[in-house]
Structure 1
Amino acid sequence: MTQPPDSEKGILYPREQARHRSLHRLAPGPSAARFVEWYWIVEWDLETPYTAEVLPFPSVNVTFEQPGGAFVNGVSTVKFSRELRGRGRVFGVKFWAGGFGAITGLDVGSFRDEVLPLTAIFPDGDKLSDLMFEAPSDERRRAVFEAFLRDHLVPVDPSYELVREIVTTMATDRSLARVDEITSRFDVPVRTLQRLFRRYVGVGPKWVLRRYRLHDGAELLAQGEVAELAELSASLGYFDQAHFSKEFKQQIGLTPLEYATRAAAERQITYR
């Protein structure tokens, strides 16, 4: 199995969060890897509540939460906040962007920004939940989920494979800043690209591209790797620093400078 990346992308204030909860990931098995990017496990045991914040990926997640239940989490277009209190645990399944729509045949945009009971999507979800909560280890939970997934596997879908390739390129190539660069590289008309993203991802290609560039910016700021915000803005494809700062604050709640300053305080260094 290819190991999932040891990345903090999407996690806001990662060092602060790490003091309040644990996080580790598992790779999917071969049969599930077309649809599942990785499994993630978060645990906490707190005397004082803590609010964890994440800038989500353009992905559907299935979560098995103790306490709580089992849920399908649609693509979230806003910052996700979760108050952690007492003792708790979540076993999550992060699908590739488009993967959940491909395997279920659903228009994932229809439950964008929503959290649904697992049974709202899978009628036999209760049985799966029981097996997941009874499993003695995370490796066994992975096996249980993938056995369930095998009963729902669909034939190879060329359109989904194209969407996955495009989204992966968006995520990894920081030089991409505009949708027309995507349509040119993959020789896909813009209307076709928009239609494919609505069907499989649930949000438009422009939104996905901007979300990944915000991930890049937040990660670099959190790591203290930014000398000049104007240079960062330009490298991420923004017209100027003002546009980047506005979008960053809209999505994260702080300006880039405020976010960098808070991250620097955690590292006990002075941010320029």
Structure 2
Amino acid sequence: MFFNDISVKKHLKIKETPNYIYIEPHPLLRKYIAHYTILFPNPKEMGRCSDNIGDLTLIPDCSGCIIYTYENSDFLLSLWGATTKTVIVKNDVNLKKIRFFIEFVPGGLHAITGIKQSELCDIQTQVDEVDKCLYDSLNHAAEIANNADDMVSMVNRIFLEAVEKNNKQHAVMRSSLEKIKVANGVLTVKELSSSEYVSQRHLNRLFNEYIGINPKMLLRISRINYSINMLKKAENKSYINASQIFGYFDQSHFIHDFKQICGVSPKEFFKNMSDFYNELFKY
């Protein structure tokens, strides 16, 4: 199993930390998959916090993921649909577990499975309950891969075949998602529907099918995730200036929206950043 050798070729790595390796998917999959991530314990920290594991709050990103979890010579293969609210998990990164994440971009999970995504929104389940054929393929890959490079190669092939088989891309959705990304979520549903020459009602139907949520929620979550990533880089976290840069009417609107999405105010978030996780490479 690849879990016994998690080394990755340098040219495939997006970023590496003592606990994470972020890996590029195949170029033809980048409009569906943001990245693969291997999460593993830091040998220097293993066991130190086993009696006092804290919580980690995951910020919603509307996209979903598939997760291999390897522990005690066995592994699980789970699936999360698009998330619209925070999820609290145990921050057990330095215990004896290795995880391999397949992190989709919004709409990516639909391209792989062909399933109406509103049925999976805010759902955590096992892959075989959603797509038995996909489960068998991913399960087999984990069993025969000798190392992480083998695993990435096989998973790329599985997803390329799945995308070709489902063939369920939609021109309006592709264009809408690109516009949202370019605008960092600073758009209205009316502007988006007008630019695509479709009604807001039709756009809502498409978003529920392909993303799992309505466009208004995706715009809000995109904007908040983008603001988090930008403020992380800023030395002076001025929420007054931020509200204007990120397209909010004023500071109070920004703080209100931030709290609605993240569960805490921006001040609390940045004061306790280690207690939160948001995607670095999707927004």
Task: Report if the CA contact (8 A) 1:59-1:201 is conserved.
Answer: yes
1:136 aligns with 2:146: yes
Partner of 1:98: 107
Partner of residue 175 from structure 2, selected from 155, 165, 168: 165
Map 1:57-206 onto structure 2 (within 5 A): 57-67=61-71, 68-85=75-92, 86-124=95-133, 125-126=135-136, 128-152=138-162, 153-154=164-165, 156-159=167-170, 161-174=171-184, 176-206=186-216
Partner of 1:24: 21
**Partner Cα separation in structure 2 for residue 218 and residue 33 of structure 1:** 23
**Partner Cα separation in structure 2 for residue 147 and residue 175 of structure 1:** 32
**Residue 133 (structure 1) shift:** 4.6
1:53 aligns with 2:57: yes
The letter of the residue matching 1:65 is T
Task: Report if the CA contact (8 A) 1:171-1:209 is conserved.
Answer: no
**Partner Cα separation in structure 1 for residue 226 and residue 31 of structure 2:** 25
Task: Report if the CA contact (8 A) 1:226-1:232 is conserved.
Answer: no
**Residue 187 (structure 1) shift:** 3.0
**Partner Cα separation in structure 2 for residue 122 and residue 175 of structure 1:** 31
Partner of 2:224: 214
**Residue 70 (structure 1) shift:** 0.2
**Residue 64 (structure 1) shift:** 0.9
Q: Which deviates more from structure 2 when the two are superposed, residues 121-130 or residues 207-216?
A: 121-130
**Partner Cα separation in structure 1 for residue 207 and residue 64 of structure 2:** 13
1:44 aligns with 2:34: no
Task: Report if the CA contact (8 A) 2:221-2:261 is conserved.
Answer: no
**Residue 204 (structure 1) shift:** 0.7
The letter of the residue matching 1:234 is Q
Partner of 2:260: 250
**Partner Cα separation in structure 2 for residue 225 and residue 211 of structure 1:** 23
Q: What count of residue pairs does the alignment treat as equivalent? A: 250
Q: Structure 1 residues 69 and 143 mapped into 2: Cα distance closer, same or farther (>3 Å)?
A: same
Tell me, which stretches of 5 or more residues in structure 2 are unaligned? 1-10, 274-283
Tell me, which stretches of 5 or more residues in structure 1 are unaligned? 8-17, 264-272
TM-score, length basis structure 2: 0.76
Identity of aligned residues (%): 21
Q: Note the alpha carbon deviations across 1:65-117, whole angstroms, 9 max, x for none.
A: 11350011101111233213312221111223212213322111112111111
- Greater relative contact order structure (CA < 8 Å, 6+ sep): 2
Q: Which deviates more from structure 2 when the two are superposed, residues 141-150 or residues 101-110?
A: 141-150
Q: Structure 1 residues 50 and 141 mapped into 2: Cα distance closer, same or farther (>3 Å)?
A: farther
SS at structure 2 position matched to 1:44: coil
Partner of 1:268: none
Task: Report if the CA contact (8 A) 1:72-1:118 is conserved.
Answer: yes
**Residue 151 (structure 1) shift:** 4.2
SS at structure 2 position matched to 1:87: coil
RMSD: 2.9
Map 1:5-24 onto structure 2 (within 5 A): 22-24=19-21
